[in-house]
Structure 1
Amino acid sequence: MFSSGQLLFAAIFAISFIIIMIFAYRKDLKIHKQYYKGSLWILVGFILFISFLFIIKSLMKE
């Protein structure tokens, strides 16, 4: 399906992309703490809402 060169390129690209993203996140960590304070609760609320929808869907199926 893929040649060995394509797989090698994909692996190198993925590893380098992850490393660059880690360095960029560490560089902006102070800014993230200042501007995105409390965003964890929004994520928790979103996950709870999606879970609630799945629960309703499974109850309606029966």
Structure 2
Amino acid sequence: MFGLIALKMFTTGRIIFACFFIVAFVILMVISYKKDAKNNKKHYQNSALYVAIGIAVTIALLFLSKLLVK
């Protein structure tokens, strides 16, 4: 069923456009990351650690709130 809907919705031109868009987007993102990598090392030291701690605290608060509501 989904295959029939997908065949009607996505023409060959749209599929080709989507492929080119994805490839161009990924290439531009890699180029942009390489340009910013130098600045990120200087300005955002240990930021991955802070993000990981923030995610862990958020998950812990969600579990705590779930226990308190029960």
Instruction: For 2:36 and 2:30, locate their aligned partners in 1 and report how far apart those are by CA, in whole Å.
Output: 10
Q: Which residue in the other structure is 1:14 paired with?
A: 22
Q: Which letter does structure 1 place at the counterpart of 2:47? A: S
Instruction: For 2:47 and 2:29, locate their aligned partners in 1 and report how far apart those are by CA, in whole Å.
Output: 20
The TM-score with structure 2 as length reference comes to 0.68
CA RMSD of aligned residues (A): 1.8
Shift, 1:14, TM fit: 1.0
Shift, 1:15, TM fit: 1.1
Uncovered stretches (5+) of structure 2, i.e. residues with no partner: 1-8
Instruction: For 1:19 and 1:54, locate their aligned partners in 2 and report how far apart those are by CA, in whole Å.
Output: 37
Uncovered stretches (5+) of structure 1, i.e. residues with no partner: none
Greater CA drift, 23-32 or 46-55: 46-55
Runs of at least 4 residues off by over 3 Å: 59-62
Provide the identity percentage.
33
Q: Which residue in the other structure is 1:31 paired with?
A: 39
Q: Which residue in the other structure is 2:11 paired with?
A: 3
The TM-score with structure 1 as length reference comes to 0.75
